[in-house]
Chain A
Amino acid sequence: MSKYECPCDYVYDPAEGDYDNGIEAGTAFEDLPDGWVCPLCGAEKEFFEKLD
């Protein structure tokens, strides 16, 4: 599972998930709910870029 980076520099790491917003560790970026936004700046998923 790949990490994804927000333009604000936040990196979504599937291994960590987003505990504060109810996303369990092990959740792939692709499986994040549509309403999920960057926990740092509020950007929607479409602005994220896949990291190698």
Chain B
Amino acid sequence: MFKPVEIAPGIYSVGCRDWDIRDFHGYSTYEGTSYNAFLILDEKNVLIDTVKKEFSQELLDNISKIIDPADIDVVISNHTEMDHSGALTAVMERIGKDKTVLCSKMGLKNLNSHFPGKLNLRAVENGEELDLGERTLAFMETKMLHWPDSMFTYVKEDKILFSSDAFGQHYAGDCAFDDEIGDKVMDHAAKYYANILLNYSSRVQTLLKSVQESGLEINMICPDHGVIFRDNPGAIIEKYDQWSKQGCKKKAVIIFDTMWKSTATMAREVAKGIESRDVHVRLMNTRKCHRSDIMTEVLDAKALVVGSPTLNNGIFPVVADVMTYIKGLKPQNRMAAAFGSYGWSGESVKILNREFEAMKMDVIHEGLKVQYVPDGADLEKCFLMGRDIADKIIQAC
């Protein structure tokens, strides 16, 4: 945005939209993203988070439309990652280099590693409060959501939660709020959760429980990417509860690559078998679908069915890319099965099964190998494999 948006009396969204970005460290961002930063005017003026380095001037221009940046008293860094801290040194030059940057204990360590000796940092304790005059800020440590330094800042009087990357969405668009974008926001939020937070699902559960037990009231959630939840913050909390429980949906994702269309033909037959039992199925060719889109489909799928031809005694490189990516994001409670064509040696199924076991997935089928080109009998086996997978999904869900 090229102008600040007043999100509550005296509280402004002053961040920047990155319309052009299409690859966010390996995550596809077809609609760009935003780096949100927030300005609170009070007896003490506060800036919460900054933006990516190249947007430093745009952030300062936005702030300048409200106050002289030099009138900011305190800066809060909820998260060290450079899309939120990149502009810190440039911003502090303008605000006043000696002014305090508040962060978590790990934030202090990590910001010092990023900007050695350049910032006047002070670590806040979990639960510490900062009196601004009319308002009070409270800091909540949220370690590993999604970095060791992550924390939230909460405005007690307005009941606004500045949640850093949690509840974020990579979306630049033309909307600032959930009620403006509509249901589409959850698709972006799901993709963000699947690709950034899934492996920290148990931390998300712990956080949601502590929020519930403490009776923290939340009128608005302001993440550091995408739109602000002002209309229905409960909706995204409910989704986070659902996603972090990793409950199942009657759905399988078939992830495959193919050399001479044999494995692709097998994939289609497996899909037909799955569909024959009224289980949802997604066919995803690893050279057509981005790994982050595959991960989004994996988010609510009970089963992963992976197909790879054997190439040079191994699995296909792009399949290995996707498998490495999925493994790191640690989906839990999943079933898995493998298939693939081969020429003379057929290692791919064995390798994939080993990977599934390393990922603690329930391998529900021994796997299916077909030499060179599947014939009618092979295709029947593929169909039956799909049907068998679907039956096991139905039993489990």
The finding on whether chains A and B are genuine partners in a shared complex, rather than unrelated, reads yes
Residue-by-residue, is B142-178 near A (CB-CB < 8 Å gives 1, otherwise 0)? Answer: 0110001000000000000000000000000000000
User: Which residues of B lie under 8 Å from residue A8 when comparing CB positions?
Assistant: 106, 143-144, 148
Cα-based distance from A20 to B206 in the complex (angstroms): 13
Instruction: Indicate whether B105 reaches chain A with its CB closer than 8 angstroms.
Output: yes
Q: How far is the CA of A4 from the CA of B222 in the complex (A)?
A: 36
Main secondary structure of the interface of A (DSSP, over half): loop
B199–A40 touching, CB < 8 Å: no
In the complex formed, the residue of B with least CB distance to A39 is B202
Q: State A42–B144 Cα separation when bound (angstroms).
A: 10
Q: How far is the CB of B165 from chain A (nearest CB, A)?
A: 15
* Contact status A7-B148, CB under 8 Å: yes
- Nearest B residue to A42 via CB reads B199
| A41→B148 CA distance, assembly (Å) | 8
**Provided the pairs A40-B143, A41-B144, A42-B330 are in contact, do residues A9 and B203 lie with their beta carbons within 8 angstroms?**
no
Interface size class of B (residues with CB under 8 A): under 10
Q: How far is the CA of A8 from the CA of B80 in the complex (A)?
A: 13
User: With the chains together, A31 CA to B144 CA distance in Å?
Assistant: 26
Q: Are B105 and A9 in contact (CB under 8 A)?
A: yes
- Residue contact B330 to A9, C-beta cutoff 8 Å: no
Is A9's CB under 8 angstroms from B199's CB?
no
Residues of B within 8 A of A10 (CB): 143
One digit per residue, 1 when the CB lies within 8 angstroms of any chain A CB and 0 when it does not, for chain B 93-111 equals 0000000000001100000
Query: Which residues of chain A are within 8 angstroms of B202 by Cβ–Cβ distance?
Result: 20
Residues in chain A near residue B199, CB distance under 8 A = 42
User: Using Cβ atoms and an 8 Å threshold, which residues of chain A touch B330?
Assistant: 42
Kindly report which residue of chain A lies nearest to residue B328, judged by CB atoms.
A42
Fill in one digit per residue for A2-31: 1 if any B CB lies within 8 Å of its CB, else 0.
000001111000000000100000000000
Q: Which of B105, B144, B330 has the most CB of A within 10 A?
A: B144
Set of chain B residues within 8 Å of A7, measured between Cβ atoms: 148
Tell me how far the C-beta of A19 lies from the nearest C-beta in chain B, rounded to whole angstroms.
13
Q: How far is the CB of A4 from chain B (nearest CB, A)?
A: 16
Q: Determine which residue in A7, A8, A10 has the highest number of CB atoms from chain B within 10 A of its CB, and name it.
A: A8
- Complexed CA–CA distance, A42 and B359 (Å): 13
| Contacts A9-B143, A41-B144, A42-B330 supplied; 15 other A-B pairs, CB < 8 Å | A7-B148, A8-B106, A8-B143, A8-B144, A8-B148, A9-B105, A9-B106, A9-B148, A10-B143, A20-B202, A40-B143, A40-B144, A40-B203, A41-B148, A42-B199
Question: Could you list 7 examples of A-B contacts with CB < 8 Å?
Answer: A8-B148, A9-B105, A9-B143, A9-B148, A20-B202, A41-B144, A42-B330
Minimum-distance CB pairs A-B, first 6: A8-B148, A9-B148, A40-B144, A9-B106, A41-B144, A8-B144
